[in-house]
């Protein structure tokens, strides 16, 4: 019986050493700049045809951290202006550190509603200081149909928020 227990214990120890576990950690990815003002707000405005998607994207981020992204009003400074362009390239939209999001109509118009929503929410993420992350995230470097925040998106936002 003693031999059985020793063999059993050896088998368990070997299994723990020989079969490593899989660990998954959320990764926070942030940029060196953001468009959030000193009051921890980011006020947006613009004439883009995709403003309804920008508004919904703001609601997505605000559902995690309330009140950071706001529509521009006359009483506050505008932090982000959204407009459109029409160029032949593979870029759906670009966020500039000077406070501008430019959507490319040639590519955006080919997307379904979820695709447009993903792009707008993603670009607002850059305004919040978020960098590109994994394929399961809104902040993935390529357009997807994902419209809800992932654990990585939230961890990145938490890390970025500490820098405002």
Strand order from edge to edge, sheet including 93-96? 69-71, 42-46, 80-85, 100-104, 93-96
Does 77 map to a domain? yes
The per-residue pLDDT for 140 is 98
Between 14-23, 43-52, 149-158, the lowest mean confidence (pLDDT) is in 14-23
Helices (H), 39-130: 51-62, 105-108, 113-127
Number of structural domains in the chain: 1
Q: Is residue 13 part of a domain?
A: no
In a domain? residue 78: yes
Residue 22 has pLDDT above 90, yes or no: no
The whole-number pLDDT of residue 15 equals 37
Please report whether residue 58 resides in a domain: yes
**Mean pLDDT over residues 100-105, rounded?**
99
Would 3 be classed as within a structural domain?
Answer: no
How confident is residue 27, by pLDDT bands cut at 50, 70 and 90? confident
pLDDT of residue 154: 98
Give pLDDT, residue 13: 37
The pLDDT of residue 69: 99
Residue 123 exposed, middle or buried by CB count within 10 Å (0-12, 13-18, 19+) = buried
pLDDT at 101: 99
pLDDT score for 25: 58
> By C-alpha distance, which of 29, 42, 101 is closest to 72?
42
Please report whether residue 39 resides in a domain: yes
In a domain, 24, yes or no: no
Residue pair 59/123 in contact by the 8 Å Cβ criterion: no
Strands 80-85 and 100-104: parallel
Residue 69 lies in a domain: yes
Q: Which CATH number belongs to the domain containing residue 137 in this structure? A: 3.40.390.10
42 pLDDT exceeds 50? Answer: yes
pLDDT tens sequence across 43-92: 999 999 999 999 999 999 999 999 999 999 999 999 999 999 999 999 99
Domain that holds residue 143: 35-161
């Amino acid at each position: 019986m003693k031999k059985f227990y020793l063999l059993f214990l050896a088998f368990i120890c070997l299994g723990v050493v020989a079969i490593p576990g899989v660990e998954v950690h959320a990764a926070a990815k942030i940029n060196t700049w953001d468009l959030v003002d000193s009051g921890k707000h980011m006020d947006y405005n613009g004439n883009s045809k995709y403003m309804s998607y920008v508004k919904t994207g703001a609601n997505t981020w605000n559902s995690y951290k309330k009140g950071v992204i706001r529509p521009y009003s006359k009483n506050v400074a505008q932090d982000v202006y959204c407009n459109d362009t029409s160029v032949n390239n593979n870029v759906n939209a670009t966020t500039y550190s000077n406070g501008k999001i430019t959507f490319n109509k040639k590519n955006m118009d080919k997307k379904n509603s979820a695709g447009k929503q993903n792009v707008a929410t993603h670009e607002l993420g850059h305004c919040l200081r978020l960098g590109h992350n994994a394929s399961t995230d809104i902040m993935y470097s390529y357009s997807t149909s994902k419209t809800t925040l992932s654990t990585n998106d939230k961890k990145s936002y938490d890390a970025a928020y500490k820098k405002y």
